[in-house]
Amino acid sequence: MSTQFHVHVLDDRDAVFLKLLREKLSDSINLTTGQIHGNMPDYQVLISGRPNKNALEHSQKLKWLFIPFSGLPVETHALMLDYPEIAVHNLHHNARPTAELALALLLAASKNLLHYDRELRNANWTPRYEGNPGILLDDLSVCIAGFGAVGKEVGRLCKCLDMEVTGIRASAKPGETWQGIPVLPSESLQDVLPDTQVLILSVPLTDRTRGLIGSRELNSLKKPAILINIARGEVVDEEALFQALVDGTLSAAGLDVWYSYPPDILSRSSTQPSKMKFSELSNVVMSPHRGGLCNQTEELRAAALARLIHAASRGESLWNRVELSRGY
């Protein structure tokens, strides 16, 4: 047992996921789960989104923390700054499902589809005869702010619709492209917005991106303008977004991320996602932060973790390293 590569799953995980993960791991990997106890052997990898000091300090061999989802929780970020010797990696298994939801939001918002659906369910055909046509996406200019794993998938799908795509990425190099898509540094965002008709946000939430999009940025967009947010609610100023939808600065929006979330199970059926009344607007498509979820989510998660674990066990270079200094 001591010669095996040991991986410990700290957080409570679904039994289906653990079964999938075990099936994908080679016999040379020793996988254990549950809370840490005194006679537990050392492990090289800890899998946890929100580890504690006990789990980080129990094993003298711990080299990696694998977060089994995308993102970096605030409390985990703060804690891991005290453990610079432990490399932190997360997963982007949800990139394609999230990108597909972004496309669904874009299509539904640009065609005002949910408004028509609600009215027709009430036997009301009037919207068909009103002067509110859908927006043709073909050849529209798209800016994807946050051109990482998710942003690239979104860009690929937009290219399939013959849209003109530009990516924005903090670490973009001069002249960088990806599959024919120009990729520009963050400081280019303000220059790109006046030529942008569809702004898709997939940036991580950090001190630099909080409030990234406000009244100035929304007013800079080229008409007709559509905003899709699959990043975090706080990336966009809440009141500015609502006002832009009311006054027509934005023709439509598709939102999967919000400003208020249920604090507990009992609140899940009674929590408004914003202090603003987005639910009263017909030009908004609202989704309850379901971007990365699909019928294959746990299969994708297990496969991504298994690939990362096997690479670590073989001493290979690992991907998806979280840069704690940047917060993502």
Query: Do residue 106 and residue 245 come from a single domain?
Result: yes
Query: Do residue 89 and residue 100 come from a single domain?
Result: no
Q: Count CB atoms within 10 A of the CB of residue 71.
A: 18
Q: Binning pLDDT at 50, 70 and 90, where does residue 3 land?
A: low
Show the tokens assigned to 202: 């997939």
Query: Do residue 84 and residue 103 come from a single domain?
Result: no
Length of the chain as a residue count: 328
Asked if the structure places residue 107 within a domain, the reply is: yes
Q: Binning pLDDT at 50, 70 and 90, where does residue 318 land?
A: very high
Show the tokens assigned to 231: 């990043």
The identity of residue 309, as a single letter, is: I
Query: Do residue 42 and residue 168 come from a single domain?
Result: no
Show the tokens assigned to 1: 């047992």
What is the domain-level CATH number for residue 32? 3.40.50.720
Asked if the structure places residue 42 within a domain, the reply is: yes
Domain that holds residue 27: 5-93+296-313
Asked if the structure places residue 227 within a domain, the reply is: yes
Average pLDDT in the 69-97 region? Answer: 96
Average pLDDT in the 27-31 region? Answer: 95
Asked if the structure places residue 319 within a domain, the reply is: no
- pLDDT at site 131: 78
Average pLDDT in the 270-281 region? Answer: 97
Residue 295 scores a pLDDT above 80: yes
- pLDDT at site 133: 80
Residue 319 scores a pLDDT above 50: yes
Q: Alpha carbon of 11 to those of 20, 42, 46, 51: distances in Å?
A: 16, 17, 10, 8
Asked if the structure places residue 291 within a domain, the reply is: no
Query: Do residue 251 and residue 119 come from a single domain?
Result: yes
The identity of residue 302, as a single letter, is: A
Of 172, 131, 178, 145, residue with least CA distance to 159: 178
Query: Do residue 73 and residue 105 come from a single domain?
Result: no
Query: Do residue 258 and residue 206 come from a single domain?
Result: yes
Query: Do residue 158 and residue 281 come from a single domain?
Result: yes
3-state secondary structure of 181: strand
Average pLDDT in the 145-165 region? Answer: 98
Q: Binning pLDDT at 50, 70 and 90, where does residue 2 land?
A: very low
| Paired residues of 66 in beta bridges | 47, 89
Q: Binning pLDDT at 50, 70 and 90, where does residue 216 land?
A: very high
Selected residue with higher pLDDT from 69 and 12: 69
Q: What percent of the chain has pLDDT over 90?
A: 94
3-state secondary structure of 184: strand
Q: Chain centroid to CA 52: how far? A: 24
Q: Count CB atoms within 10 A of the CB of residue 57.
A: 11
Query: Do residue 167 and residue 112 come from a single domain?
Result: yes
Query: Do residue 100 and residue 178 come from a single domain?
Result: yes
CA–CA dist 150, 98 (Å, integer): 7
Cβ atoms of 144 and 151 closer than 8 Å: yes
**Three-class DSSP labels, 315-327:** CCCCCCECCCCCC
CA–CA dist 230, 235 (Å, integer): 10
| Paired residues of 141 in beta bridges | 164
Cβ atoms of 138 and 106 closer than 8 Å: no
Query: Do residue 13 and residue 41 come from a single domain?
Result: yes
The identity of residue 241, as a single letter, is: L
Query: Do residue 10 and residue 88 come from a single domain?
Result: yes
Asked if the structure places residue 318 within a domain, the reply is: no
The identity of residue 303, as a single letter, is: A
Enter the pTM of the model: 0.93
- pLDDT at site 164: 98
Q: Alpha carbon of 67 to those of 34, 86, 108: distances in Å?
A: 15, 12, 32
When the pLDDT of each residue in the chain is averaged and rounded to a whole number, the result is 96
Asked if the structure places residue 126 within a domain, the reply is: yes
Cβ atoms of 28 and 45 closer than 8 Å: no
Q: Write the DSSP string, 247-306.
A: HTSSSEEEES--S---SSGGGGGS--S-SS-GGG-TTEEE--S-TT--TTHHHHHHHHHH
> What's the structural domain count of the chain?
2
Q: Alpha carbon of 203 to those of 118, 173, 232: distances in Å?
A: 32, 17, 8
Asked if the structure places residue 322 within a domain, the reply is: no
